[in-house]
Amino acid sequence: MKHRTEDLALFGGPPAFLHNRRVGRPNQGDRARFLERMNRVLDNEWLSNMGPLMYEFEERVAQLVGVRHCVSLCNATVALQMLVGDATTGGAPDDEVIVPALTFPATAHAVRWRGLRPVVCDVNPVTGLIDPDAVEALITPRTRAIVGVHLWGQPCDVLRLEKIAESNGLRLFFDAAPALGCTHGDRPLGGFGHAEVFSFHATKVVNAFEGGAIVTDDDALAARMRAVRNFGFGPDGLVELLGTNGKLSEAAAAMGLTSLDALEDNIAHNRAMYEAYLAALSGVPGVRVLEYDPQHRNNHHYMMINVEEQGAGVHRDLLLEVLRAENILAQPYFRQAMHQLRPYADESPAPLPHAERLCGQLLALPTGPGVSTTDVEVIGDVVRAAVALSGEVTARRRTEPAGATGA
Ligand code: T4K
């Protein structure tokens, strides 16, 4: 336990870890299985363009989620672009798509990338999920679609959003990038709205180096998405739609399958780390582990805390600095709300107070296979020390410029 500011690595003390503990360390699964799959890929001499491993990956994901179709893609951003484009075919450039303010920039960018207007919506002050009342208030005759985000694997208010979309004749998609293996009640996320999108980025609970998928029960939508991902080629080999190149390579599918094999073990490990963090951070003033509705299953891939400066005495960003100096590579997800991002700053001048506040308070702590319960105890001790010494830490950071301490 660090008792004085001098003990903190930020002020010259020895770091808590020699090798970093970080958010987003890839879940690679069994390396021998991956190499065996890669050997098959190389032996097949079929590296991309709808190969056998890609189809196997799609089948496995569709089965896991309980939907008829999984259209695998090169990443989730392209998946969102494809869905938004499909929802607004034949529309006008000022067509609107409602997106939450608290998400990764990809959600809003996908809308703008298709030349449409993302209308940014405030979120629930506790969960950070898109607020259905705020969604309703933003619907105009130009609204074409709503994109909810299952932030940190928590389900959006899917049933309410489905009703809102249906009664207003809107398309409803869910950005489920962080939410594979999560549920709403007993139903896996992936089966709600018109379609949902998963990310299989290196940092996600299932990693395919880079990858994504659209999952849906809509046969016609799935057929269009299969064409769009392949330059618009239809089953007869003729271009029938405006397409892109969104294909998932065989190497990505090999990693995706191997990582998928380990999904349940990873979720069990993450849950154990989550419980360990609850204990390690219990009673630290101003620091709260985000708690989830027990009716739904979370994959606990993101280990989120809320740092309230007033109670903790230290701002989230300074706590982040303290942790990073200790080789604890936490991540401030997210630093800015969507309407604060430069490309959108002119469009939605109204403040969105809940999202803005959460952007200054949320922090993702390391979890996943590279983190043990002992590590969690050490991380908990550093957080506890930073809060206990907050007055001095804040004062020293103000007077001692970065670098002067060797940090
Ligand atoms: N919608 C939502 C809600 C999303 O969260 C995301 C992606 C998307 C859509 C778009 O999905 P994709 O188009 O990417 O499929 C990371 C990921 O790049 C991004 O995919 C993810 N969300 C986001 C939440 O996290 P950064 O900017 O934080 O990445 P970076 O490079 O800072 O790395 C994060 C941590 O992961 C670090 O601690 C380092 C570690 N890391 C990273 C990589 C790439 C590794 O240990 N190994 C690695 O290979 O965005």
Q: Which domains does the chain have, with CATH numbers?
A: 5-25+262-330+366-399 (3.90.1150.10), 31-261 (3.40.640.10)
User: Quick one: tokens of 126?
Assistant: 């506790």
pLDDT, tens digit, for every residue of 358-379?
999 999 999 998 999 999 999 9
Tell me the C-alpha distance between 322 and 385, whole Å: 10
Tell me the C-alpha distance between 71 and 69, whole Å: 6
The torsion angles phi and psi of 99, rounded to 5 degrees, stand at -130, 155
Residue 2: CB within 6 Å of ligand 1? no
Tell me the C-alpha distance between 123 and 131, whole Å: 5
Q: Which of 156, 199, 244 to mutate to test the pocket of ligand 1 (most atoms within 8 A of CB)?
A: 199
| Residue with CA at minimum distance from ligand 1 atom 36 | 24
Tell me the C-alpha distance between 79 and 81, whole Å: 5
Span from the CA of 198 to the centroid of ligand 1 (angstroms)? 13
If pLDDT is split at 50, 70 and 90, which confidence band does 93 have? confident
If pLDDT is split at 50, 70 and 90, which confidence band does 401 have? low
Span from the CA of 254 to the centroid of ligand 1 (angstroms)? 20
- Mean per-residue pLDDT for 341-363? 90
Give, in order, the Cα–Cα distances in Å from 6 to each of 10, 14, 114, 325, 383. Answer: 8, 9, 52, 12, 15
If pLDDT is split at 50, 70 and 90, which confidence band does 346 have? confident
pLDDT, tens digit, for every residue of 252-282?
999 999 999 999 999 999 999 999 999 999 9
Please state the length of the chain: 407
Residue 76: CB within 6 Å of ligand 1? yes
Using alpha carbons, select from 7, 1, 109, 123 the residue that is nearest to residue 396. 7
Using alpha carbons, select from 243, 246, 90 the residue that is nearest to residue 234. 243
The chain-wide mean pLDDT, for the chain, equals 96
If pLDDT is split at 50, 70 and 90, which confidence band does 402 have? low
Residue 75: CB within 6 Å of ligand 1? yes
Tell me the C-alpha distance between 332 and 349, whole Å: 23
- For residue 1, pLDDT over 90 is answered with no
